Chains A and B, each alone.
Chain A
Amino acid sequence: MTISESQVGPISEGGMFGKPVPRIDGRLKVTGAACYPSDTPMEDTAHAYLVTSAIARGKIKAFHLEDAKAVDGVLDILTWENMKGKVRSVRFFAGGGYASSTIMPMSSSKIWHAGQIIAVVIAESFEAAREAAYKVGVDYAVNKPKAGFDESRPQPRPMTNPLTRSDPATGDAEKAFAAAPVKIEAYYSTPTQHHNAIELFSTTCVWSGDQLTIYEPSQYVHGLKNGVARQLGIKPDKVRIISPFVGGGFGGKAALTARTAFIALAAQRLNRPVKLVATRKQAYTVSNFRAETQHLIKLGAESNGQLTSLSHEGWEVSSRPDEYKVAGTETTAVLYACPNIATRVNVIHADRSTPGFMRSPAEVPYIFAIESAMDELAVALHMDPVELRRINDTQINPITDAPYSSRALMTCYDTAAKAFGWASRNPVPGSMTDGDWLIGWGCATSCYPTNVAPAEAKVTLAPNGSVRVQSAGHDIGTGAYTALAITAAEFLGVPLERVSVELGDSTLPPAPVAGGSNATASICNAVADACKELRHRLVTAAVASNGPMHGLDRDMITFSDGQLRAPDGQSETLMAASARLGFGPIEAHAKYMPEIASKTIKLVGNAMLGKGLPIMASGTSAGDHIQYAFGAEFVEVRVHRRTREIRAPRIVGAFAAGRIISPTTARSQLMGGLIWGISAALHEATEMDHRFARYVNDDLAEYMVPVNADIQDVEVIFVPEDDTKVNALGIKGLGELGNVGTNAAVANAVYHATGQRIRDLPIRLENLL
């Protein structure tokens, strides 16, 4: 049997795809043996502590460093005065470069935002560095900052000719809205949010001659390597990034931040290793965050529920210099069948650090708005919200008519609705109670584009029959180690425990950023290609004139239980087969190019990957089709009738995401997404004192997230889906699928419980008093 690219069902004879196995690195993690970058033992390390700006806009007039320098153990203090011109600028990640922001701290006395790095204190101990940092005196020239939106609700701007703008649009949405018998028009908003990964932002730099080794948690080691090399003006091959484990990334560790180059320079000045572990509070401004957004949605429908007009205008806050766009209209414009669509995205600039990717960046805020509005439309139509989605379901992009490669949204709805018990819902708000608690049930659509990127992987078969998989990909808690091991075990027919996986090291074959939910699809395909190459060589040797299976049809040779097997019962161990190919290990290095890659990506993709530049084929425009994973989410909330606390004890999500390689870790990903969704809907917001453009709840005590007691029943259901248009293995990324619809599902449930429509997140008890 050969591996057929179009095959549906079992893809190989290993029997590993879809088999629930424990996370292969789980034991290391729960025993504390997993070595996260800042855990790396190192001799003679000096410790760095950041000093950050207390003002959002202005200049540093003077430093007073005498008290800090007098602290016992202080070795060096970096400020703009000794760092000016030492770090070269690199392009913005979201613009195709490396940096999470083009703001370059310590390149001058200018302050762009509160929390900007203004000094780095290096000392013999963390404690001494911290004490000295507290003693750094700064005189500022303060200007009044702009913190965010100027007005509570921005004014809509005309969405003129769709042909002159890149915003998705079709037909005449304005005219159709005016004529629609049923209409919804409302503003929605989502707040600033931060990733708050448990692992803090750390960087440890060690020079050995002109060779720089950086231990830093990263979602893109090749990007970090190339970016920092460019900043320091050294050759990329002189830089190595080591990041085998990442304690949560969520987009915050995807792009190069300013801290890395400073720690590298500090280590160079002192000629010894320097370690930085930025504090929790500093984590709010040394990397990026989810921008706050506002939305104006207009929906027009026939009285039978068919959408006739959909318009979605978004406003977002970015930093002064960077045009970071969340821009989820690419997705909201193609979600439902509708002949008239208009969209627009506006960015306003403020004295803030630059926002960026945060789990399901574009979809989360934009789907919240559209899926809340869909629920409002269902109420206006006296229609079940699931039926409204069914009436407007589409298998094609309503703007371009390009088909979805597959779209099982309504199967997800029906599956989740059944598991949830939706049929027994009384649609009247406030009608369902349990003692003093009002019960609300709500639902919403989840979706995420199936992005795929060029990726490389090396697979090595050792003489003892063990298999090693190597790629500079990343396991940011997602289960990548496990999924890649499963893939090799599947294709080479070896037991999982015979497979080892190495990731997170820039000396390994380049792999894309762990972002956009592309990693499993991209790297598993690369591993599969490498395994196929190994199989080819082993089979060729087995059926050759001196082989044990001489004369047999090579297509009949299978791989299972660590053996090559022929239909006549003959077999040979991989160990023996590999020995016949010569001494030592045999290896295959595959360069995977996504099937959906454009001509340009096919041409330059591998080169860009090697340079650590962001390169990805987007599911939103995959040649002749579009490709998305879908899900439907149902939530129960409880609101106390007097004191209005809101709790969400039950959530069910059904998801169709192509072939599920590793069900255990995939389920974990989706479960984490659902929980995060509840968190974002009811708890999370980075709050700002607008007078100063400064955050006020920037630590885990005050930035609210749910605790165990808040989360009770979480059910994840996989809806089977075969789709080999998306990529050869039929994988749709699901890391960011889980939390897309949850905000709206919770808000819709709150409406059902109380009759109160809350359009601004997070929903807190004072909104319901």
Chain B
Amino acid sequence: MRPFSYQRVDSVSAAVQAGRIDANGHLDAPVQFLAGGTTLLDLMKLDVMRPQRIVDINPLETSLSDIAVESGDVRLGALARMSDVADHPAIRKDFPVIAQSLKLAASAQLRNMASLGGNVLQRTRCTYFRDVSWASCNKRIPGSGCAALEGVNRKHAVLGTSENCIATYPGDFAQALLALDATVDIAGVQGDRTIAFRDLHVKPGETPHVETTLLPGEIITAFRIAGEPWMKRSLYLKIRDRESYEFAIASAAVALDLQDGIVRQVRIAIGGMATVPWRSEEAEAVLTGKPLDEERARQAAQAAFAAARGRGENAFKPELGRETLVRALLEAATLEF
């Protein structure tokens, strides 16, 4: 870790002013916001992130950590801790996909520390990114190449990749937000704005070091979900190499509006497989208006991974992704409440 200056702020506007700097990619900016610190401090110790100034936004916790479920709608403050949201009775009952995606992530200790806003911005686990002694990583050093393309890439992405980066987006909660069509409240120098959660992350393309559409100084203040009764029929299925404390090798967030065996609406997000939180409208289209059975679920899964591309060690992932989605859809269909 390198020396840095530390600043606490007690208002959103002060935070935004403190974070207002010029940088190529927001996440590599010389000023970084500190919330739970579970990603930032880790990457600073590894010398991957080298901010000059840390702006601690934890004093904003009183105003930014609310968990509100009113008239079926949800507002989750960006500084709410993962564990508090995962344990919230109304969230567990009416939006199980949220509670499950949080509960199945990380460890109890990390969930107690990590904030929702930080969680959706957590950075990839790609070794070539996390270890600075590797010379090639376009995310860390733009233009240096991608060592993972032909390297050890079992856990790397098969969806949304480019020739510049195949690093997997590692989170779980983001898939739940996608599957519930969440929106994100953002505060910034130019004022507040709200965007669809699906517009927050950007695929690596030519610029893997740019990971979100956030502008310098902007912070996430809340996530909102326009709730529907059928969102009770939602789940997060996480497939991983061990039973706990491990990132998804494949996951699916499914929210299903099923009436008399017919799919009225379905929203599908896929994790562990893509460079960004991944919504599959292709799979949704296969199912909408149709009866849900194994055959149909398989067709949806085929559609979801039609564009998937494995390289070397991760060549198995499209098949695992399909099986994961089939299982998630069929399990969602049999949920009773």
Contact = CB atoms under 8 A, between A and B. Distances in A.
B163 interface: no
Given A689-B147, A696-B152, A134 B316 contact: no
A127 B131 CA distance: 18
Chain B interface, DSSP helix/strand/loop, else mixed:
loop
B242 A683 contact: yes
B326 A642 contact: yes
Contacts of A131: 1-3
Contacts of A436: 327
Interface string B218-262: 000000000000000000000111111110011000000000000
B47 interface: yes
A143 interface: no
B242 A643 contact: no
A54 B133 contact: yes
A60 to B, nearest CB: 14
A766 B127 contact: no
Nearest to B126: A696
Interface stretch (B14-22, B81-89, B184-192, B317-325): B317-325
Contacts of B151: 689, 691, 696
A436 B237 CA distance: 14
B127 A696 contact: yes
B1 A706 contact: no
Interface in A117-168: 127, 130-131, 134
Nearest to B50: A134
Interface stretch (A439-447, A562-570, A707-715): A707-715
Contact of A134 (B2, B135, B154, B327): B2
B285 interface: no
Nearest to A702: B127
A764 B239 CA distance: 12
A766 B320 contact: yes
B132 A134 contact: yes
Contacts, number: 79
B30 to A, nearest CB: 17
B249 A707 contact: no
Contact of A645 (B1, B131, B133, B239): B239
A769 B319 contact: yes
A701 B246 CA distance: 8
Given A134-B2, A696-B152, A765-B249, A643 B327 contact: yes
Nearest to B330: A642
Contacts of A701: 125
Contacts of A54: 133-135
B244 A643 contact: no
A647 B243 contact: yes
Given A701-B125, A707-B245, A710-B243, A766 B147 contact: no
Contacts of B134: 54
A765 B243 contact: no
A709 B134 CA distance: 34
B336 interface: no
Nearest to A688: B152
Most buried by A among B2, B147, B243: B243
Interface in B1-25: 1-3
Nearest to B47: A134
B295 interface: no
B316 A702 contact: no
A127 B45 CA distance: 10
Nearest to A645: B239
Interface residues of A, number: 32
B186 to A, nearest CB: 30
Interface residues of B, number: 34
Given A127-B1, A134-B47, A769 B242 contact: no
Contacts of A769: 316, 319-320, 323
A130 B2 CA distance: 9
B150 interface: yes
B241 A130 contact: no
B316 A687 contact: no
A125 to B, nearest CB: 11
Contact of B244 (A130, A689, A709, A765): A709
Contacts of A281: 131
Contacts of B3: 131
A134 B50 CA distance: 11
Interface in A223-257: none
B174 to A, nearest CB: 20
A640 B240 CA distance: 12
B244 to A, nearest CB: 4
A757 interface: no
Contacts of A642: 323-324, 326-327
Nearest to A133: B47
Interface in A647-675: 647
Interface in A20-62: 54
Nearest to A710: B243
A436 B334 CA distance: 14
Interface string A616-645: 000000000000000000000000101111
23 contacts: A54-B133, A54-B135, A130-B1, A644-B320, A645-B239, A647-B243, A683-B241, A687-B152, A689-B147, A691-B150, A696-B127, A697-B127, A702-B127, A706-B242, A706-B243, A707-B242, A707-B244, A707-B245, A709-B243, A710-B242, A764-B241, A766-B316, A769-B319
Given A131-B1, A643-B323, A766-B154, 10 more contacts: A54-B134, A130-B1, A640-B327, A689-B147, A689-B152, A696-B152, A704-B242, A710-B243, A766-B320, A769-B319
Complex A-B, nearest 10 residue pairs according to Cβ-Cβ distance, in ascending order: A709-B243, A766-B316, A54-B133, A709-B244, A696-B127, A696-B152, A710-B243, A642-B323, A642-B327, A134-B47
Interface of A: 54, 127, 130-131, 134, 281, 436, 640, 642-645, 647, 683, 687-689, 691, 696-697, 701-702, 704, 706-710, 764-766, 769
